Amino acid sequence: MLKGDARPNYSEQLVAARSDLLSSLGMKAESIASIGRVSEEDQAQASHEEFISLRLNGLDYEKLRMVEEALDRLESGEYGICLSCDEAIAPRRLKAVPWARYCVQCQDRSTSEREEYSHGLLEVVSF
């Protein structure tokens, strides 16, 4: 748990990140909606741009979810505690990624396990 004097700074960072993400998502939605009809020659390019925009929207929604969860943890007094090992997350990490859910060690372990799982799936599929 973080000391009271550190909380407002993280809260401000998280609220600003949420605002930026909501604004960005709104602009992207307007951009997708404005595509309209395109000529047959431009259809492939328009489809590709729409695919990329939708993928980026998905990433922004995921980040927004993590920011909202961090704000909830801040309010409940659980902010700054790793969800995996229950140890404190380093202030340097929280400064860089205020919505971090895991300490560096647990995040690395999780990423490595996901990569191993994905690699294993590729081996099964290619077999």
Tell me the pLDDT tens digit for each residue of 23-56.
887 776 565 555 566 666 777 777 777 777 778 8
First-last CA distance in the chain:
48
CATH class of segment(s) 7-126: mainly alpha
Q: Where are the domains of the chain?
A: 7-126
| Strand, coil or helix: 35 | coil
Report how far residue 94's alpha carbon sits from residue 88's, in angstroms, rounded to the nearest whole number: 10
Predicted TM-score (pTM) of this structure? 0.69
Report how far residue 33's alpha carbon sits from residue 27's, in angstroms, rounded to the nearest whole number: 10
What angle in degrees, to the nearest 10, is found between the helix axes of 7-33 and 43-76? 160
Phi, psi of 110 (to 5 degrees): -65, -45
- The per-residue pLDDT for 31 is 59
Select from 21, 8, 17, 19 the least CA-distant residue to 79: 8
Report how far residue 102's alpha carbon sits from residue 80's, in angstroms, rounded to the nearest whole number: 9
Phi, psi of 12 (to 5 degrees): -65, -45
Report how far residue 110's alpha carbon sits from residue 33's, in angstroms, rounded to the nearest whole number: 37
Q: pLDDT tens-digit profile of 66-109? A: 999 999 999 999 999 999 999 999 999 999 999 999 999 999 98
Residue 47 CB: number of other CB atoms within 10 A? 12
